[in-house]
Structure 1
Amino acid sequence: MAKETDEIIHHWREAVPNDRVAHLLRDASRAFVRALQIRLNKYNVQVGHWVFLRVLWETDGLTQKELSTLVGVMEPTTFTAIKAMEAQGYVVRVHLPNNKKNMYVHLTRQGRALKTKLVPLAEEVNAISTTDIEPEKVQVVRDVLLKMIENLAADENRQDC
């Protein structure tokens, strides 16, 4: 196990076993990102680009604004990522003839072809993360996390009022 991972596990199990769930989720998320990035490196894809590719594989031809919303990042972040992905040949940005305001993002053949290579890598990371965990417990984790997301979204809506 990596030294960093050992330190995180020690932190959670011994130093602060009752610390906030948000901190534990952050560390788990970092572990997922590291594991996925190690695998994506083989294809010269950044994990930051992975999130955009995932959305575009499902719904190609979104505006940069729509893509920002679906990925959950600010538009300048999307612009920077899309520009880099365009330079790698994964996407193209186009204006529709009747709408010069919006920039639409489309996968190239190369970007679309990455799906068959990269999705199995993410599935592998997920499988590794749930090794020796009963499927029922994995389902409970999913249900709890979805409810937490719902609760925080409802709170955000209340704060906007």
Structure 2
Amino acid sequence: MTLFPHPLVSAVIALLWLVLTEVSAGQLLLAAIVAVLAGLAYRRLTPDPIRVRRPRQILRLFLRVGGDIIRSNIAVARLIVTQGRDHRRRAGFVHIPLELTNQHALAILAMIVTATPGTAWIEYDPREGRLLLHVFDLLESDDWVDIIKSRYESLLLEIFE
């Protein structure tokens, strides 16, 4: 174990500490201690390297997500403007079983879900491989299971696993 596993991170933290406080012997010592501890803590946050199996699918996923975000913006705006007159629609939670295990693919799926208006990633249980999703305009929970699995998870599986 080295004292400075991430020397650049430690140096930047120490420098920022000194910029934000006064430069004195005590602050210099405190900056060094905080920088070393932060560098050691950062080592635990270093993710595994990303391995992409099918890079061409990334563009397909990007275009699909972009289109879905635009459509979702329109749908949510319509629901808000009409004050939700369609009484079949309601907000609710959906449990979605996932096959994804790659941490990078799961992080991207979380960003997709969060960036899409009307949906929110609530919880992921890695033991059961189950995602809890909140949906603003829920009609049938099975529809959302199909949407997540067929539109996003299938492409993420091709890209990462």
* TM-score between both structures, scaled by the size of structure 1: 0.23
Higher normalized helix content (fraction of residues): 1
* TM-score between both structures, scaled by the size of structure 2: 0.23
Larger Rg: 2
Higher relative contact order (CA 8 A, sep 6+): 2
